[in-house]
């Protein structure tokens, strides 16, 4: 029988993580990456773009005299 070790890529840093008891933070490679990912998630939840601030004015001051 062949030992099939399933591995995944850490969503944070893309490191190959062995899917086993050796990787308690799977699919993350480490607790740090797990927290980073969670932090991103929290940040995204708190910064839902309601109204995109466009600083562009529709300036049509083209001085092209035709
Ligand atoms: Zn990682």
**Contact between residue 28 and residue 10 where contact means Cβ atoms under 8 Å apart:** yes
With residue 32 as reference, give the H or E element that holds it.
helix 31-46
pTM: 0.54
Q: Residue 9: what pLDDT?
A: 96
Residue 23 belongs to a domain: yes
In angstroms, what is the span from residue 1 Cα to ligand 1's centroid? Answer: 30
Residue 51 belongs to a domain: no
The DSSP bridge partners found for residue 17 are 8
In angstroms, what is the span from residue 21 Cα to ligand 1's centroid? Answer: 16
Residue 1 belongs to a domain: no
Q: Residue 38: what pLDDT?
A: 73
Residue 65 belongs to a domain: no
Average pLDDT, the chain: 80
In angstroms, what is the span from residue 49 Cα to ligand 1's centroid? Answer: 28
Q: Residue 39: what pLDDT?
A: 76
Q: Residue 37: what pLDDT?
A: 79
| pLDDT < 50: residue spans in the chain | none
What is the domain count for the chain? 1
CATH number at residue 16: 3.30.50.10
Q: Residue 30: what pLDDT?
A: 95
In angstroms, what is the span from residue 16 Cα to ligand 1's centroid? Answer: 8
In angstroms, what is the span from residue 33 Cα to ligand 1's centroid? Answer: 5
């Amino acid at each position: 029988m062949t030992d099939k070790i399933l591995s995944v890529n850490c969503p944070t840093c893309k490191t190959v993580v062995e899917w086993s008891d050796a990787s308690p933070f799977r699919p993350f490679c480490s607790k740090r990456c797990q927290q980073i990912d969670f932090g991103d998630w929290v940040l995204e939840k708190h910064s839902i773009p309601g109204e995109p601030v466009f600083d562009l004015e529709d300036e049509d001051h083209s001085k092209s005299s035709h």
